[in-house]
Each structure stands twice: as structure tokens, then as C-alpha cells.
Chains A and B, each alone.
Chain A
């Protein structure tokens, strides 16, 4: 089983809709979870972090964490064409002293 798994997509949503991006991880003791956005031809940039079970909201973005199910998600409300990018889920494993492990990313396309 891969450490961090994401559906590669593409995920296509109409402008104004909610985009839901999902991620599962294998290390049950993982403590910290991150979402990065990567535009085509650009580097990843951090958009959200979450450490506790539940929801964390930041503007149009909501990160959701369920440690029992080993599941992290990112919701993007009122999706805009400018949200079209690849979204990478990343996890710090149990020890907390190790580098991020990245999923392969989900490509999101927001259709105007």
C-alpha cells in the first residue's frame, strides 16, 4: 500500500461548485497533514495544514481530517477557473522527525 494515496483525476467541476479532493494515508500514527497546490509548470505551494480531527476552514478552503479512517480531504467552495491545478496531499509520519511524504496529486479542472 502506498503511503499517501490520491486519485489522480482529472476532477472536473463547474465554476461555482464545490470541489472535493481526497487523500488516504497508511501510517496510522501520522500527526500532521498538509495540502499543497501546484499550478502547471510551477512549484508546489502550501495552502492548508491540519493536525486535529475535524474541519479547518480558511476562506474558500476547508481541510477535513479523520484519523480513525486515515482520511484527509480538501473542499474548495465556489470553485474558480483559477483553482485549476494539481493538489498534493502530504503527511508527516509517526515519528514527527521525518520529511513530508507526498501523494502523487489530484488534477483539478474548474470549467467556466
Chain B
């Protein structure tokens, strides 16, 4: 019954590594989002996509990029991981523009050492 799947629950990477976080949804949703969640800072939007091959920057895109080659898959890429990117990363999807009913994945706890 899993609807939004994130590839890893826990990940440990070294500073400077290129990191890929994968997210797949099986609900045929148009929209996909990447957030990070940090204590005291809440959920912050990194990137989002309203269509295949489309991407838009969120509030904190620096140091990240994304890829959406297929409707169901939205990947977050940390070009050169840094310790300040240690965080919980949450992927979400929603049916269409203006829909606030997001379904979240279970999250990836990334630690950069």
C-alpha cells in the first residue's frame, strides 16, 4: 500500500560526494516536491516539479539539483555533499496544481560526515 517510496531510509555519505536521493510515486500524480526538515526550522522546500522534465526552485535550492525524466520519479541530487546538508529529506506528491493534499514518503535521514 506504499504510494510514495524513497529509496533509502538512512544514508551516510562523505563530504564532497555526489549523492542521489530517489523518489517514486505510484498515484499518477502530476506534482512532486522535495523538502528538508530540520529541528527548529520546519519543512523547507528545495525543488518542485509540476510536469515531466520541468523543475522549479524552491526556497533553498543552493547545492541541490533535481531530475524528473518520468512522471513517477523525482530525484534529488546533492552535487557535492557538505555537512550542513545533514538532514531529513522528504519527498511528496500531489494530484495537480493548487492541490494541497500532499502524500509524503517515509523520508531519508542523510548524514554527511
Interface residues of A (CB under 8 A from B): 32-34, 36, 42-46, 49, 88, 90, 92, 96-97, 99-105
Chain B interface: which size bin? 20 to 34
Cα of A92 to Cα of B97 in the assembled complex, Å? 10
Neighbouring B residues of A101 by C-beta, 8 Å:
45
- A99 CA / B107 CA spacing, docked (Å): 19
**Is the pair B58, A99 in contact by a Cβ cutoff of 8 Å?**
yes
**B106 interfacial contact with A, CB 8 Å:** yes
Flag if B40 contacts A99 (CB, 8 Å): no
With contacts A43-B107, A102-B42, A102-B43 taken as known, whether A92 is within 8 angstroms of B48 at the C-beta atoms is: no
Residue-wise interface mask of B (83-113) relative to A, using a CB-CB cutoff of 8 A (1 in contact, 0 not): 0000000100000011011111111000000
